[in-house]
Amino acid sequence: MTTNLDERLSTASVIGAAGKMGSGITLLLAQEMARLSLLPENRGKTFRLNAVDLSPEGLAGLREYVHVQAQKAAEKGAVGLRALYAERQDLVENGEIIADFVHRVESVVWPSTDLAAAKGSRLVFEAIVEKIPVKVEVYKELKGICAPDAFFLTNTSSVPIGLLDGEAGLDGRILGYHFYNPPPVQKLVEIIRSPATRDDVAAAASELGKRLRKTLIPSKDVAGFIGNGHFIRDGLHGLGEAARLAKAHGWAKAVHMVNRVSQEWLLRPMGIFQLIDYVGIDVFKFIQDVMDRFLDEKLLNGTIDAMIARKVSGGQNPDGSQKPGFFGYEKGRIVSVYDLDAGVYVPIDPKGWTGEADAHLGPLPEGYRGWKALSGAPDRDAAIKAHFAALAKMDTRGAEIGRAYLRRSREIARGLVASGVAAKPEDVNGVLTSGFYHLYGPINEFCQ
Amino acid sequence: MKAFAKPVYLVCGDSTVFLGTGRKEFHPKKPRPGLEHYIAEAGKGAVSQAADPSVVDEGVVGNFMAARFNHQGHLGAMLALVDPSFAYKPSIRVEGACASGALAVVTAVKSVLSGQADVVLAIGVEVQNTVKAIYGADILAGAGHYAAERKNGHAFFFPAKFSDRAGEYKKRFGTEKTWAAMGRWYEQAVRNARRNPKAQEYHNTTEDLFAAHQGMPPNPRSFCEHINVLDCSKVSDGGAAVLAVSAEGLKKTGRKPSEAVELVGLGHAVADLTARPDDLTALDTTRRAVERALGMAGITVKDVGVFEVHDCFTITGILACEAAGLAGHGEGADYVLSGSTRRDGPTPMNAAGGLIGYGHPTGASGVRMAVDLLRQLTGTAGDCQATVSSGRPYGLMVSMGGDDRTVVSCVFRRAG
């Protein structure tokens, strides 16, 4: 199927371009469009990416972000860029070529606070707030603004695509295209077709994914899809464990313990509460709400609601630094824990309460190597196996919580396959390893 | 090269920390010392070993590209940073790409030979961390023939040149053995550097260095086709300095002959910068320079007990073994694999870390190599000391500019 992707990319838009996901998507597309503009067959053609967002401050931040990140990416990709510029005899040095490419990337992006800027667009990426009525309204408007054959790729991580299609009347021209955060770095894109999604939309999306060198994993159009289908339930398990431990140990210790176990005992890049902070407690709540509405399963949680009620919402500042959530942070490191009982952040104190909590968990399995050390290790798989073999035999509180966590994660993943959200176990494992940077998939043989 | 009209010695050598990634104190975003600091520190380090700074008659500063890395020319006129009394003394800056430091030594030696000076301070310096490596590659590409080669050259211009050499060597003499020898050279360089507190790789804690190298196959998408980043000397800031003296000058420094080395052989050769090497698997200019240096000294390579070779890349270390006559064509890899070049081997090379281990501030390296040989031959190399057999009392140095275009080779022997 010819997708006319280049043609569609000559007039594209990102809606919600100043957000965390939107800015990353804008950067990725602008880079691809700048690349296209250099190809001999595109000489004389213009490439325009409308970056639409309600926030003028956000768009100012987007310009800065695109500038800095395009520069870094061009420096890193200089080997390939030189080939792209082979015909340009006037640009000789890496410095000259990089500067020209960054200028092109920046020139492609046309920021606007007005949705009407998307006029005539043939390819539209949407990355606005995860609220169904807002999304539906925006799509209804876009339908009138964009080209009549426009394709819509939504970055929703939870809202059923079929619902958006039906409510906004898009006639199958919409597909779920769920990037992971940050989009320029994370390899994974979840692809969600609704039963109505047209083949040409899916084909264009797939070609684009290949060009952006993404790992594409299909998910059934069920709220939460694979990624959040696992993450939200996994998070709820952590919240449940913490609530249980809090009864005997108090909230701060409980959060600290569960976070540590879910990171270190499970060999994950982050503990569960740090991850929720990173995603944003508010975003976690949006996703929960959507999933709770569409699925026959209790997916709400009192702790999350209590945190939101106290305006403790995590997420990142415009400069990328982490906002306080379950934890307080300094330079990306956890320095305190929010005590839900007292409503204050309690500093980490290895000689005091934190040490007591650690003592309660007991030691890590012998020869423990963390996620970072294992990620690049040549003996990675064997070491992971040995870690869980040791964990299976340990009689400590940490090991016990860890094993329960591992089993629950597996149960969630199997559920996603059983319900058809994931076509096969490899897809769930693929989402967790490529989108969440886990070293192993949740469907595994560990600690059976 | 004609025999020298009179003996010339090197004495009072010093080198600074070579700073860059790998050193704990290095942070790319924090302010760092500049050219002035390294010239002063290296110079003072050398001069302070002499009886009095006033014995210095002249200065020579070797530097490759400060004009671009630091927007600074005119480095000869920084001599007084070493000692205020050096103001109004003669001083010049010399350049020959990565052999600039060695050319500073050569120039200093010639001043002594001319009879115009008895004590000449040779300083080598380069401060390269002012730009990211990808832009530094543009600057260093000036050591090639810019007009003809840069546009079609690789983003990492020089790494790619030596990647081509490694590729050709692998093709002709065996991929596996070449790759293994490159890994062994890397391992040897870093192991040596870990004994040298001033080396850039001093803080390296990788347990199995060889495995680390072998486990990183070349990636032509982001770097080069036949080498990985561990095959390359790093981006470094640093300085080194040494005194070139006549017999009279040596007395003036107050140092004993046993604390000095005599330069008994010198080979300096340049190939045509605008021409490509005839054979990518051989360093022809290096071979000629070494032959001249050995010839002038009246010895063969069998008389040499310790080496400093220009391992800007691991493959260059291998090729240098062949160019020096230690191994036949295509046998340099086997020579390295045999362990002969290790600090405890029969022909120790780069015992203080060399360019890959100690670091490679381009203009400083030639002086640094002379200083390290001075230390080895006078038994003052501390933890880096190799055993220099009394039957083979000579030290051989090879400093190379560009892709084997400018080469300086020196043969030293302890003076007393």
Task: Mutation target for B interface from A76, A79, A375: give the one with most B CBs within 10 A.
Answer: A79
| pLDDT tens digits, one per residue of A54-106 | 999 999 999 999 999 999 999 999 999 999 999 999 999 999 999 999 999 99
Average pLDDT rounded to a whole number, residues B119-140: 98
Average predicted confidence (pLDDT) for chain B: 97
Work out how many CB contacts closer than 8 A connect A with B: 34
> Over 70: is that where the pLDDT of B145 sits?
yes
| pLDDT tens digits, one per residue of B312-344 | 999 999 999 999 999 999 999 999 999 999 999
Chain A positions in Cβ-Cβ contact with residue B155 (cut-off 8 Å): 78-79, 81-82, 94
Q: How far is A436 from chain B (nearest CA, A)?
A: 24
* N-terminal to C-terminal alpha carbon distance within chain B: 24
| pLDDT tens digits, one per residue of B291-305 | 999 999 999 999 999
Buried b / exposed e across A201-238, counting CB within 10 Å, b at 16+? Answer: bbebbbbbbeebebbbbbbbbbbbbbbbbbbbbbbbbb
Look at residues B152, B99, B170 and name the one whose alpha carbon lies nearest to residue B314.
B170
% of chain A beyond a pLDDT of 90: 94
| pLDDT tens digits, one per residue of A249-259 | 999 999 999 99
Look at residues A20, A443, A387, A437 and name the one whose alpha carbon lies nearest to residue A270.
A437
pLDDT on residue A448: 81
Tokens representing A53? Answer: 């967002």
B155/A contact by beta carbon, under 8 A = yes
> Over 80: is that where the pLDDT of A37 sits?
yes
Look at residues B44, B36, B78 and name the one whose alpha carbon lies nearest to residue B61.
B78
pLDDT on residue A319: 75
* N-terminal to C-terminal alpha carbon distance within chain A: 46
pLDDT on residue A378: 84
> Quick one: closest CA in A to B149, which residue?
A92
Chain B positions in Cβ-Cβ contact with residue A102 (cut-off 8 Å): none
> Over 70: is that where the pLDDT of B1 sits?
no
Average pLDDT rounded to a whole number, residues B210-232: 96
Q: pLDDT category, B85, cuts 50, 70, 90?
A: very high
Say if the Cβ atoms of B211 and A95 lie within 8 Å: no
pLDDT on residue A4: 85
Say if the Cβ atoms of B152 and A86 lie within 8 Å: yes
> Over 70: is that where the pLDDT of A1 sits?
no
Look at residues A149, A171, A175, A173 and name the one whose alpha carbon lies nearest to residue A161.
A175
If interface means Cβ-Cβ distance under 8 Å, which residues of chain A face chain B?
75-82, 86, 89, 92-95, 98, 378
The 3-state DSSP class for residue A346 equals strand
Chain B positions in Cβ-Cβ contact with residue A86 (cut-off 8 Å): 152
> Quick one: closest CA in A to B154, which residue?
A79
Partners of A48 in beta bridges? A11
pLDDT on residue A2: 64
Average pLDDT rounded to a whole number, residues B369-396: 96
> Over 80: is that where the pLDDT of A238 sits?
yes
Q: pLDDT category, B241, cuts 50, 70, 90?
A: very high
Long-range contacts of A55-64 (CB under 8 A, 24+ apart): A55/A18, A55/A113, A56/A113, A58/A18, A58/A19, A58/A318, A59/A17, A59/A18, A59/A111, A59/A112, A59/A113, A61/A18, A61/A23, A61/A318, A62/A17, A62/A18, A62/A22, A62/A23, A62/A26, A62/A109, A62/A111, A63/A106, A63/A109, A63/A111
> Over 80: is that where the pLDDT of A111 sits?
yes
The 3-state DSSP class for residue A217 equals strand
What ipTM describes this predicted complex?
0.93
Task: Mutation target for A interface from B135, B207, B213: give the one with most A CBs within 10 A.
Answer: B135
B212/A contact by beta carbon, under 8 A = no
Say if the Cβ atoms of A92 and B150 lie within 8 Å: yes
Q: How far is B138 from chain A (nearest CA, A)?
A: 6
> Over 90: is that where the pLDDT of B416 sits?
no
Average pLDDT rounded to a whole number, residues B224-240: 98
From A75, A77, A82, residue closest to B132, measured CB to CB: A75
| pLDDT tens digits, one per residue of B266-286 | 999 999 999 999 999 999 999
The number of beta carbons lying within 10 Å of the beta carbon of residue B219 is: 12
pLDDT on residue A447: 87
Look at residues A208, A204, A154 and name the one whose alpha carbon lies nearest to residue A28.
A208
| pLDDT tens digits, one per residue of A160-171 | 999 999 999 999
Say if the Cβ atoms of B154 and A82 lie within 8 Å: yes
Average pLDDT rounded to a whole number, residues B386-394: 93
B28/A contact by beta carbon, under 8 A = no
Task: Mutation target for B interface from A72, A93, A213: give the one with most B CBs within 10 A.
Answer: A93
From A75, A77, A89, residue closest to B151, measured CB to CB: A89
Tokens representing A231? Answer: 């993450």
Chain B positions in Cβ-Cβ contact with residue A78 (cut-off 8 Å): 134, 155
Look at residues B15, B22, B233, B237 and name the one whose alpha carbon lies nearest to residue B127.
B237
B149/A contact by beta carbon, under 8 A = no
Partners of B313 in beta bridges? B232
> Quick one: closest CA in B to A88, which residue?
B151
Chain A positions in Cβ-Cβ contact with residue B220 (cut-off 8 Å): 79
Say if the Cβ atoms of A94 and B211 lie within 8 Å: no
Average pLDDT rounded to a whole number, residues B150-178: 98
pLDDT on residue A237: 98
